[in-house]
A and B are shown apart, each in its own frame.
Chain A
Amino acid sequence: MALFVKTLKLYQLRSRQKRGVCVRWLHIALAASLLFSPLVYAQNTPLISGGVGFFTSTNGGNTTYIPAISPLIQAPITKRLQVESRAYLLDAFFPNGKGYDTSHFVALTYLQASYFANPHVTVVGGLFLSPFGTYTERLSPIWISNFQDAPLIVPIGTGTGAGLGGMLRGNAYSNGKVSIDYTAYFSARSANQQFNASRSTGFRVNAYLPKPRLEMGVSYGRLLQGTNANAVGFHVWWLPPNTAFKMRSEYAHTTHVQGYWFETDYRLSRFGGTESIVGRLEPVFRMQQTFRNAPDATDGLSAQNTQRADFGLDYYLPHNVRINTSYSRQFSASGNRNIWQTGIVYRFLFPAWRGK
């Protein structure tokens, strides 16, 4: 929970700086999309999607309750241009001994315009999810992540999770056997907490082998002022075909700290199919460690070496509802703790307006 609240504060900090500008952008973007979208083909109706959920997190016997919603809009504007945005709204109710304190939190997670310049280059501008590693871009939506808490190493290379500036990305090369893609960004006022609102730049390159469903990637991030710290990361994902097994892993290193996580999940669909009572179950496991080699209060990671094992059991109900439960045991010199978490999330997806 401490981690959660910390992340919350970081987001709040960032969103306070940016909300004014962003909200104005959002209005312009939405107005533009509403004006132009009907001109594009029927299958390009803007979509509204996201997740709405209710979470609990029990740490040291104290339970925090968190209702949350994270809506997303994706609006094609012309054949090549589109606007994408996601927000996050939550209330946290935590015990204060007498009753509950609440904290309210609203932020724009990202708001970007993407332009398909050519088959290999997409130009992105705005507030975008930090492309370092895999978690932030891919697994952070509440309807996707298997665990409520983000991995411990997420701040490395991503800071608060978003950059403000431009990004070039695309597929460099692909045939039936391999697909190589890249992402390179420049952020003017970096959300990277470690480098504290500085300019930063970075890239990621992935190679995906679609037959064995194996992906490997390298990420790099650099601060362009102050300490000029570098962050480097590697990830390996393996989702063997014809199995319900998935393995995802990441390692990241920066000046004073490094760490890894790996996560496995296995939907029990062999027992009667994905829609049977047992087949809807998905045990998940995540293992994480961080190693500190020098104190650094700015990198967002614990001051002590930390080990953590997360054991989860997710259950997929019909109609895009999922229940997540998990138990985590965390070991560090500052004390060992148990964290119990539960959540129920509904994933929604529909056209922004009714069809004829």
Chain B
Amino acid sequence: MKIFKWILLWQILVASFVVLAQSSTTSATQTSRSQKQQVQKQPPVNDGERIFTQNCSRCHNAPDGFSPRIAGSVVRHMRVRANLSEKDAQAVLRFFNP
């Protein structure tokens, strides 16, 4: 399947290009996402924001924001699903509900 080798090669090229191009600048996603967080959540507490950024968009898009009444439930669910450490889970929860 020659075509597949070409597709593969093309993908690798595109991927490396994208990564190179983007890692040099702060991407628009990051800025708009963190701006949104500022609106929804108060200033970052401890490592919460870092842990959120590093973990919460791995499997799905990070949520746009939700009722503070379910913040604990979300974090508990994700602690199980993503096998987050207890410390990280607590930090993310503090980030949601400082």
Residues of A near any B CB (own CB < 8 A):
40-47, 74-76, 82, 84, 114, 116, 119, 122, 124, 137-139, 141, 143-144, 169-171, 174, 179, 181-183, 206, 210-211, 213, 215, 237, 239-245, 247, 264, 266-267, 269-275, 279, 285, 287, 289, 307, 309, 316, 320, 331, 349-351, 355
Contacts and interface: CB of A to CB of B under 8 A. Distances in A.
30 contacts: A42-B68, A43-B68, A43-B97, A47-B74, A74-B77, A75-B73, A82-B80, A84-B77, A119-B85, A119-B86, A119-B87, A122-B79, A137-B81, A171-B83, A171-B88, A174-B87, A174-B88, A210-B51, A211-B54, A237-B58, A240-B23, A241-B53, A242-B27, A242-B30, A243-B19, A244-B22, A244-B27, A264-B15, A285-B11, A320-B64
A282 B87 CA distance: 33
Contacts of B28: 269-274, 279
Contacts of B66: 349-350
- Residue among B53, B57, B59, B83 with the highest chain A CB neighbour number at 10 A: B83
Contacts of A349: 63, 66, 70
B22 A245 contact: yes
Contact of B83 (A45, A206, A287): A206
Question: Nearest 7 A-B pairs (CB), nearest first?
Answer: A181-B83, A43-B72, A243-B22, A210-B54, A171-B85, A44-B72, A119-B86
Given A171-B83, A273-B32, A45 B1 contact: no
Nearest to A43: B72
Interface in B1-59: 1, 4, 7-8, 11, 14-15, 18-19, 22-23, 25-33, 51, 53-55, 57-59
A139 B71 CA distance: 22
Contacts of B77: 47, 74, 82, 84
B69 A351 contact: yes
Nearest to A180: B83
A43 B71 contact: yes
A274 B32 contact: yes
Given A124-B80, A245-B18, A264-B15, A45 B69 contact: yes
Contacts of B25: 242
A206 B81 CA distance: 13
Contacts of A143: 60
Given A138-B81, A210-B55, A242 B23 contact: yes
A72 B72 CA distance: 16
B72 to A, nearest CB: 4
Contacts of B73: 43-47, 74-76, 82
A272 B30 CA distance: 12
Given A84-B80, A124-B80, A213-B58, A243 B69 contact: no
A254 B28 CA distance: 43
A274 B57 CA distance: 14
Nearest to A122: B80
A309 B7 contact: yes
Given A351-B67, A351-B69, A171 B86 contact: yes
Contacts of B1: 307, 331
A271 B48 CA distance: 28
A6 B18 CA distance: 37
Given A274-B33, A307-B1, A144 B60 contact: yes
A146 B59 CA distance: 11
B24 to A, nearest CB: 9
B76 A76 contact: yes
Contact of B15 (A139, A144, A181, A245): A245
A349 B14 CA distance: 35
B8 to A, nearest CB: 7
Contacts of A215: 58
Given A124-B80, A138-B81, A245-B22, 20 more contacts: A42-B69, A44-B70, A47-B77, A82-B76, A82-B80, A116-B79, A119-B86, A119-B87, A143-B60, A174-B87, A211-B54, A241-B23, A242-B27, A269-B28, A273-B28, A273-B31, A309-B4, A320-B64, A349-B63, A351-B70
Nearest to A270: B28
